[in-house]
Structure 1
Amino acid sequence: MSYNWKDGNDVELLINGEEFFPSVFASMRAAKHEVLLETFIIYEDKVGKELKEVLVEVASRGVKVEVMVDGYGTADLTSTFIAELTNAGVNIHAFDPRPKLMGMRTNLFRRLHRKIVVVDGEEAFIGGINFCADHLADFGPMAKQDYAVKVRGPVVTDIHQASLRLLAYNRNATHSTAEPHAFNAAVNRFAGKARMLLAIRDNEDHPNDIEEHYLRAVRSASFRLLLANAYFFPGYRLLRELRNAARRGVHVTLILQGQPDMPLVRMCSRLLYSYLIRDGVQIHEYCERPLHGKVALVDHEWATVGSSNLDPLSLSLNLEANLIIRDATFNHQLYEHLQSLAQRTCKQISLQRAKRGYWWRMPLIFVSFHFLRHFPAIAGWFPAHSPKLKPLLPVTDVSPVQDEQDVHFEQEKSL
């Protein structure tokens, strides 16, 4: 299914867990019919426990609650945690869960990386924030900088349907007997002035949609382009278009990780710096804490917020979801925020610094460029399966000590 632009939406920018968690939990608590939740990670920390309390409360009064988590990202929930949810009537589904091998996770590629919440088919949240405490400032120096949006209006119908389509891959699960609440799209009448489009990436009908929207936006830029992305190692086409935009006079600014949660990612990104900077692209490394955001804006109107990084995993393998937003007010708000980050908490990378050690990095740079040019074909080497959701159920025949330390997935075999 292709998604079309929808007019008449309201959008609210949510920065970090301090704004996201209170808003999404309040929306869930007000649910009357249904809560759909997709996320890469739920940790059993203070945020995960509050999420559990909210979902138990909501499900206990008869609201249909469907939770979809990634089998790799959310692999460490205890059986007790899962049981509290399922006993209250929450249906939990794991995307592509696989057993560990010698204690190591084996399902590395093609993850459910979307972060979506839809409440009663009328209000939705999309972004890059997982349900874990490292999205809060009091987590410490490694707290993540990240973004989401809360939306109302006609676009929510598309977001709702996208989640239902993913959920349909587990409609035969025996413990999930009731169908999700049926909603009439008419409930999502005009709520604001923003024009929006849902862009997803999957391994079937939409393998390149998010990247194509980025490419179109960069090509259309006339005077400014500002991009903040956690894991920056994009395809060759996008690299070339960023450089070409700077060459034709567009003010192109990238905000990338300066204090990474995964140092290897920054090393890969830095291999691309000189290629971009020498043609006028400005690169700022965010140094206050790890950058986990996936946002961008072009000129005065276009913006995107979502789950997709600009790296091979997000652009060619994972299930991702971004909102494309055309709204001057939202664009300005995001621009002011990102400009403040660039000026206050970032260090700009000069061409001289980017070329430091260039002689020994040159072979890596050569390999990187050719890797990026051919990665879409390389991605085809990895097994491309249809989404597989299996019910996540507690295991009851374990000791309390095991229950606190181990992962307990009971996967139904008949799918």
Structure 2
Amino acid sequence: MGHGQWVPGNRVDLLENGEEFYPRLYEAIGQAKKEVVIETFILFEDPVGKELHAALVAAAKRGVRVDVLVDGFGSPDLSVEFLKELKDAGVNLRVFDPGTRLLGQRLNLIRRMHRKIAVIDAERAFVGGINFSHDHLRSFGHMAKQDYTVELTGPIVTEIHRFVLHAIAVGAKGSRWFRRRLRETEPSSLPDAGPAEVMFVTRDNRRHTDDIERHYRAAIRSARHRIVIANAYFFPGYRLIKALRRAARRGVDVRLILQGEPDMPIVKTAASLLYHHLLHAGVKIYEYCERPLHGKVALVDDVWSTVGSSNLDPLSLSLNLEANVMVRDRAFNEELWRNLDNLMSNSCKSIETGELSTEWSGWRLVRSFFVFHFLRYYPSWAGWLPRHVPRMQPPEAQWPQLIQVEKGEDSQPGRA
């Protein structure tokens, strides 16, 4: 499928937060003629989820083929009415690894489908970190998230389209369905749309277990003057930390933008365990304090950039299914730099060595030893965790009450 190859001739538009992403996506869905395919970790039944719901129902009712994949852990609480309206309109909804609950707690915690991808008519794609939930809009309040997605047009969309259809085929339909859908919906070729070279890179638990991390490390090793990484959940592997420290020591301006106002306190605690180690090597750390940072973006020098769903933590790098695009384009790199520079200048606190805890150095040494070895070996430890093969299933597997509703309707007088 051409996974991990640079594809020239693309246009890449940076979309910041839900304010820019949602209107652009809804416009694309409204213009769709043949097909809409969406993968998302979170779909909530809130103002954003309801707006997406309305757009998908309208598209399906006018004859567009609509496929939606949600994660069973990330999207647990959708009402029967919400789901039934999708189904009645003809939307094909599937759930990745539906989970059961024990004493109200969800048990399907690991190996999640964390990708956020949308493809419209095999001609327009969106890849990034923004879910379908109200907390990606500023109107949500002080806990609204800061995040990014890109809109792509050009030949790379063919590869992304093949990927999302192949995911459906592997999970539920089979190779014949896959080939038929390609014939029915995919253009024979897409014209060049811009100057950007783009690589679509995914992480899974089979053949592409560390692809995203490898591309990060390769870009960091190649850096000559600038590295900026903005990542919500930062606790990467030993080799990536080592590459950042080496880059800083050879004179590269290495900057990390991390959470200062986290949505989960443990996120900041985990990242802060690395602060001494990074700052002493010359890495600059900025905590984004305006609201929770949810972005997963980076740039190196003046050409290379990445935007996607992958955090730099054990879940994303060793367990979850993720998708990023790597971009080689000066104009896009400059746009992303301006955006991140604005965050650092106006919404971040710079962390200085003198501000860190002055706890007993012996304890810090012991703690650093354990953190170091955890980072060094966790990719191999992740393989010991349960390796069930999660399946995509119809919504009834996650919400069995749907079956009861349909049986009740079928038994009503006058219903055939």
Range of TM-score over shorter length: over 0.9
Question: Could you tell me whether the CA contact under 8 Å between 1:166 and 1:387 is conserved in 2?
Answer: no
TM-score, with structure 1 as normaliser: 0.92
* In structure 1, C-alpha distance between the alignment counterparts of 2:402 and 2:283, rounded to whole Å: 56
Q: Which residue of 2 aligns with 1:4?
A: 5
Q: Deviations over 1:315-354 (max 9, x none)?
A: 0000000000000000000001101100111001011223
Question: Could you tell me whether the CA contact under 8 Å between 1:224 and 1:252 is conserved in 2?
Answer: yes
Counterparts of 1:251-290 in structure 2, within 5 Å, are: 251-290=253-292
Unaligned runs of at least 5 residues, structure 1: 400-415
Unaligned runs of at least 5 residues, structure 2: 406-416
Question: Could you tell me whether the CA contact under 8 Å between 1:9 and 1:153 is conserved in 2?
Answer: yes
Q: Which residue of 2 aligns with 1:391?
A: 394
Distance change in 2, residues 1:179/1:131 (3 Å): farther
* In structure 2, C-alpha distance between the alignment counterparts of 1:59 and 1:263, rounded to whole Å: 41
What is the one-letter code of the residue matched to 2:95? A
Aligned to 1:186, the other structure's residue is in SS state coil
2:203 equivalent among 176, 201, 204: 201
Aligned to 1:93, the other structure's residue is in SS state strand
What is the one-letter code of the residue matched to 1:379? A
Q: Which residue of 2 aligns with 1:379?
A: 382
* In structure 1, C-alpha distance between the alignment counterparts of 2:146 and 2:360, rounded to whole Å: 30
Question: Could you tell me whether the CA contact under 8 Å between 1:64 and 1:180 is conserved in 2?
Answer: no
* In structure 1, C-alpha distance between the alignment counterparts of 2:243 and 2:402, rounded to whole Å: 55
Q: Which residue of 1 aligns with 2:21?
A: 20
Shift of 1:377: 1.0
Counterparts of 1:202-217 in structure 2, within 5 Å, are: 202-217=204-219
Question: Could you tell me whether the CA contact under 8 Å between 2:172 and 2:392 is conserved in 1?
Answer: no
Q: Which residue of 1 aligns with 2:338?
A: 336
Aligned to 2:160, the other structure's residue is in SS state helix
TM-score, with structure 2 as normaliser: 0.92
Aligned to 2:101, the other structure's residue is in SS state coil
Q: Which residue of 1 aligns with 2:141?
A: 140
Question: Could you tell me whether the CA contact under 8 Å between 1:169 and 1:387 is conserved in 2?
Answer: no
Shift of 1:358: 5.5
* In structure 2, C-alpha distance between the alignment counterparts of 1:293 and 1:177, rounded to whole Å: 32
Percent identity, aligned pairs only?
52
Residue range with higher mean Cα deviation, 20-29 or 186-195:
186-195
What is the one-letter code of the residue matched to 2:123? E
Q: Which residue of 1 aligns with 2:59?
A: 58
Q: Deviations over 1:32-55 (max 9, x none)?
A: 000000000001000000000000
* In structure 1, C-alpha distance between the alignment counterparts of 2:242 and 2:254, rounded to whole Å: 13
* In structure 2, C-alpha distance between the alignment counterparts of 1:295 and 1:118, rounded to whole Å: 20
Aligned to 1:55, the other structure's residue is in SS state helix
CA-atom RMSD, angstroms? Answer: 1.8
Distance change in 2, residues 1:31/1:371 (3 Å): same
What is the one-letter code of the residue matched to 2:193? A
Instruction: Determine which structure has the larger helix proportion and give its number.
Output: 2
* In structure 2, C-alpha distance between the alignment counterparts of 1:350 and 1:168, rounded to whole Å: 51
Shift of 1:165: 1.4
Aligned to 1:190, the other structure's residue is in SS state coil
Q: Which residue of 1 aligns with 2:116?
A: 115
Shift of 1:388: 1.1
Shift of 1:396: 4.2
